[in-house]
Chain A
């Protein structure tokens, strides 16, 4: 009689209290995970674009303040709303020959309190590699009422020099200066033994 009660209590604690030190696995939700970027157009206005397909897994231990992960960003799915620019970007990114996955390997999460403050890692594709640290703008974990699962997510930012990743566009596009990355990410907590495969999550 007492056993189920204890089990239920533990389940509640595991959901509500991240103070229990155990690494948890999370899977990115395609509906709330995008890499946006901003680039100055001729010093006048700022153009926004986006990589539409971002998948991956994270492991995080909020009590031990540690974590890491592996995120795949499809470079061929760059989307600025301007077809000619998208084609030029695919070419500049060496991503114009079909699927072009890039990998952001997160070697470490730096914490402030029980929330990640920065994600340090390496972004690589087709022999190009860039050390990249994403700074958290904000972060929160919540119990998603539809999924009945814990979801953690936030916004992360970094600035990248296009020359450092070998990206050169024809001057006629007028894009200049550093590229600002603005990353939206949310991830669903996985149960132990759950298969790690992409899923289309609602809400």
Chain B
């Protein structure tokens, strides 16, 4: 599993050294940990929706809108799980659900991007949880970029001045039984909706 991520990161790294032809080139981004979290949602007894937050998520993304290509590698630290109730967090961490002691991280590695009008609208890759990889497609609800220089206070504090910031909201669905996290199915639903908030800063170009 770690090797999967390492391979993804290794595959991404050489792109930074590519010569850049204006804007039409692969652009590398680092996720902004302040704005990158995943929420899962699962229906409880057909009544209410149980939600939990995991993050911040670390990782990097390559976008090449012109070529319609992209790649991303994300590490999701399951120890950051927070439902708002420690009792519930402890239950969800157990071996029959997230198995955080056995596999403390989940991963999403994706190489299939679909662009519309220069924006990624769909990302398909492999989501690995509890050591099991399953295909996952995330769809963009919104996506946009701006120049981070307008946020003068933050930019000067973080050295992000002038960096391009892109981000949006993405959603996807998995069956938790596909990963063996089946406790409580079907009273607590098998289908889990993933709602991802993501923002990333473009990595400064090497000179």
A residues engaging B (CB < 8 A)? 30-32, 34, 36, 41-48, 50, 52, 79, 81-82, 138-142, 144-145, 151-155, 172, 174, 184-186, 200
Contacts and interface: CB of A to CB of B under 8 A. Distances in A.
B53 A184 contact: no
B198 interface: yes
A31 B87 contact: yes
Contacts of A34: 51, 83-84
Chain B, interface size category, equals: 35 or more
Interface of B: 34-35, 37, 39, 44-51, 53, 55-56, 80, 82-85, 87-88, 142-146, 151, 153-154, 165-169, 187, 195, 197-199
Contacts of A36: 51
B82 A47 contact: no
Contacts, number: 100
A165 to B, nearest CB: 21
Contacts of A45: 35, 142, 167-169, 197-199
A154 to B, nearest CB: 6
B37 A48 contact: yes
A174 B151 contact: yes
Contacts of A42: 146, 151, 165
Nearest to B34: A82
Contacts of A144: 45
B99 to A, nearest CB: 20
Given A45-B35, A47-B35, 9 more contacts: A30-B85, A44-B168, A79-B82, A81-B82, A82-B34, A144-B45, A151-B45, A154-B47, A174-B151
